[in-house]
Structure 1
Amino acid sequence: MILTDAEGYTLRALKSASNNGKHVLYLVPIQEALSTDPLPYDAPEFSKMPQANCVSCGQKMPLQMLALHADECSVILQHIAWPVADSDDDDDESLHPEIVTRQITFLREYIQEATSDQLQKLMSFWTGWEVPSNSLQVNVCKGKFFKASTCSRTLMLPADILTMDEFSSTLQACANTASTGFGLV
């Protein structure tokens, strides 16, 4: 058994215990528990590693993390049933196709630019779970706030939001209510 100093195993102690490297040593880790949490993409450990941009969202990250991010990034967009902007409807309740298209574009852009944490909060608000569902519904309705029907996995986009900045900030505010309850902010 090799006793360690306060700073851990030293070269001098290891050399003397292994008879100058002639004997095999089995070392016990000094740490009691190792963290298995994944490092964030901007961790200093990744600073000297090759970087690459995600094709879907354009986020720059370590090349080794790109495969994991690609699964996370595109899975939401693939499972959304997008509403169709129909100009043939003469209903008083139906929205202009331009409004529906604008809100859909805002949501696509938000999902592509969102961080992992923001996507988890969005999924919690939208479906009640942080993991994306296989079928996600989107509707556009009149109003200024997002609504979510977790049972039918439907996100109602407000038609009265005109800018991406307002869309993003309102969606983040609504998504943050998922831990305290669903509905309007």
Structure 2
Amino acid sequence: MPHPQETIDIWSVEGRFQHLVYSPKGGIEGVLIDTDGIATQFVFDRHDEAAAAAFAGLRPGQALVIEGAEQGPSPKGTDRDAAHTVYQFERLVSVDGLAPADTPAGQQIAGTVVRLNYARHGEANGVVLDTGDFVHTKPDGFVRLGLKVGDKVLAEGRTQALSTGGGRVVEAVRVNGRRVEERQEA
């Protein structure tokens, strides 16, 4: 006898990014958006680092289109209603009308250097920008680039949210158009 198939309605929701939603252990477990004055929450699957990374660099107020399936009542058995509609995150469709980057390696962050960052052994390994973002260059890259406090920086590379929730870290491939690592000749 065939099994009945369950269908899941996927909704496309437009709104403005408000902020990340944190788990009790400090991870990113979702986002809150404003949809015409109404709060709407999207939650990620547990340990979905890719979903968290897709939202890590967003600024409050950016226009988003997100797809998700509406969540039912809390599985914890409480009789309290949710404060707002909650969706299970499926995918980020657009940010400010543009498709999100297909590869995190192509992401950019920009700002002004406010301080240096140091590796465990004490060598400078990158810079922190006025945006709160950390540009990781490794010690050799830092020396090669010659960055200092007050420099304007445009860094390209793979990004993810800082564990503090305030900014991103970019594993820099290019800074101000210059490669961080020297190419090896064959």
**Larger-gyration structure (1/2):** 1
Alignment TM-score, normalising by the size of structure 1 = 0.18
TM-score scaled by length of structure 2: 0.18
Q: Counting helix residues as a fraction of each chain, which structure ranks higher? A: 1
Higher relative contact order structure (alpha carbons within 8 Å, sequence separation ≥ 6): 2
